[in-house]
Structure formats: structure tokens, C-alpha cells
Amino acid sequence: MDLKIKTEQRKEGVYIISLTGPLDSVTNSECEEKVESLLGPSTKAIVFNMEGLDYISSIGFSVFIKAKYALVQNSGVLAITNLKPGVKRVFDMMKIVPECIFDTMEDVDKYLNKSLSA
């Protein structure tokens, strides 16, 4: 199954990336390219909506690590939401960006409002 990547600009400099399917060694480069195309000096936040992500391999985590690093360089923020239980367990075990993981978009909105207004 292929990875489907949908991007949406929520407001100026804030992007939502919705992932559906597997994020693995086959689909990783496509996802990285899409994320990199959104990263720039004017990018304030990237939100990954993982509602449709049903599998992630260890190589798939590099997308989030690279995005987090690039965003921090420009004082931006990363948020991840709607993890399925199996994918969340993997994130919890890997301890990858735990401060960026939220249960709902409402939680993300609160985080963004606080982080972006500071």
C-alpha cells in the first residue's frame, strides 16, 4: 500500500500534513520531500495528523526528527496528533519527540496558540 500525503495550509506559516498508509523505507523519501518543501523561514508550525497512518518503521521516524530540527532552527514548532494505538506504542518506546504528541486537534490548537504567541 502506498503512503498518501495530504497537505493543507491552516493559516500563514502553519501546515497540516495528513498521512495515510505506511511510513517505511519505501515511502520515507516521498514524505521527507513533501515536508522539506514546506520548511522555510516563514514556517511557524507543522502538524502531522496521523489518523490514517497504520504503520511506521524506524526509518520513518527520521521524517519527524528532521522536521523538528529544521523548525527549531527557525523558532517553529512541531505537533503530532491522532496516533493509532499501535503507532503510539512505537513512538512511546522510541521516545521520539514526546513533547510534540497530542491526542486531539483541539490539544494541538491550544499548544500552537500558546507556543506561537510566545
| pLDDT tens digit sequence for 15-70 | 999 999 999 999 999 999 999 999 999 999 999 999 999 999 989 989 999 999 99
* Residue 35 burial (CB count, 10 A): 20
**In this model, does residue 12 exceed pLDDT 90?**
yes
| pLDDT tens digit sequence for 104-113 | 999 999 999 9
Q: Give me the CATH number covering residue 89.
A: 3.30.750.24
* Residue entry with cell 494541538: 108
Q: In this structure, is residue 118 part of a structural domain?
A: no
Task: Tell me how many domains the chain contains.
Answer: 1
Residue 26 is part of which domain span?
A: 4-113
> 111 Cβ partners below 8 Å, 6+ apart?
77, 79, 102
All three cell numbers of 59: 526509518
Q: In this structure, is residue 92 part of a structural domain?
A: yes
